[in-house]
Amino acid sequence: MGDFGQAVLREEQAAAIGEIDLLFVPVGAGPTIDAAGAAAVVERLRPRWVVPMHYRAHYVNFLEPVDGFLERFPAEQVLRLDAASFDTGKLPADDGGPFVVVPATP
């Protein structure tokens, strides 16, 4: 989604996006949406997998940490990876999601 630039996802935007499997969503507040806004986008779009982005990490200290977003999902739906990349073919795909995929920061 990049820098979202608005408080909520409008209905016409959600309709235009349609069904999706993988959503990269900013979660760190600051110049874009925060954890609550990102969770609302996920709830509205219902992707199979979600990758949080644009949050506080080792090299970025002016945004909120990812934890506030992750806390909004059951622990069994949060997949912390040991690598910075992943193959969706190796991720859970059952209907119990969405699964939040957190790649290791480089």
Q: Check the CA dihedral 19-56-62-37 and report its sign.
A: positive
- Of 58, 59, 69, the residue nearest 28 (C-alpha): 69
Residue 95 falls inside a structural domain: yes
The Cα 29–Cα 63 span in angstroms is 6
Residue 88 falls inside a structural domain: yes
Residue 6 falls inside a structural domain: no
Residue 83 falls inside a structural domain: yes
Q: Which tokens in the block code for residue 98?
A: 């969405």
- Of 23, 60, 65, the residue nearest 44 (C-alpha): 23
Please tell me whether residue 14 adopts helix, strand or coil conformation.
Answer: helix
CATH code: domain of residue 24: 3.60.15.10
Which domain covers residue 83, as residue numbers?
Answer: 11-102
List of the chain residues with pLDDT < 50: none
pLDDT tens per residue across span 31-50: 889 999 999 999 999 999 99
Residue 5 falls inside a structural domain: no
Residue 69 falls inside a structural domain: yes
Q: Provide the number of structural domains found in the chain.
A: 1
Residue 61 falls inside a structural domain: yes
Report yes or no on whether pTM surpasses 0.85: yes
Q: What is the pLDDT of residue 27?
A: 95
